[in-house]
Amino acid sequence: MRAIGPILAATALWLAPTETAAQTGQIRCSVTTNGAPASGTIVIERDGRERAGGSCGTAISVPAGKWRATVRLDGALDNPSKKIDVTVKAGKATPVQVDFKTGVLEVRIEAKGRSGTGMVTVNRGSKRIGTLGAGVAAVLSTGNYEVVVRYGGQERRYTIDLRPGQRRLVRAQF
């Protein structure tokens, strides 16, 4: 019985929080796309290690000090993120607001005057961003993309420049 007592005491001591409520603050993240409310996530890091995270719109409590926040936009094909240095003050809420500039890309395939199905690959530079089925709209960060459309063993390539708020329709004729 005596051996259990010190073990429990040591465990309780180890689990005791090192920060008091007065030494912590909050990070409140908000995400927009082209100025309109959107959904996103946040990861809080210090010294290269992830310390906290969650959905934007929910306050995250962290010890006061300097942090690096990585905010990601939900639902975009290219999975955009932005890193922000944040200083949290004890007892205060620090806002982290990120606006992502996005547009929408949709590719339709037509073969012999009829709608067709095929594979669409979206590339940025030499990096593959993702794939879509024909007729599926995708949210992407603004910028230049190469769109490769494959249908029945044939291929068409398009270069597009997607602007903020733009809805871009590419019609691939086979």
pLDDT in tens, 52-66: 999 999 999 999 999
Q: What is the mean pLDDT of residues 140-168?
A: 97
Cα distances from 21 to residues 69, 83, 89, 90, in angstroms, run 21, 27, 12, 8
Among the residue ranges 15-19, 37-41, 150-154, the one predicted with the least confidence is 15-19
Rounded to an integer, the average pLDDT of 1-20 is: 38
User: Which of residues 20 and 129 earns the better pLDDT score?
Assistant: 129
pLDDT (average), residues 120-125: 96
On the question of pLDDT at 1 being above 50, the answer is: no
Q: What's 76's DSSP letter?
A: B
Residue intervals of the chain classified under CATH 2.60.40.10 are 19-100, 102-173
CATH architecture entry for 19-100: Sandwich (2.60)
Continuous H helices in the chain: 4-15
Nearest to 72 by CA among 106, 27, 42, 112: 42
**What's the confidence (pLDDT) of residue 7?**
40
- Compute the mean pLDDT over every residue in the chain, rounded to the nearest whole number: 89
**Domain 102-173 indexed as CATH 3.30.460.80:** no
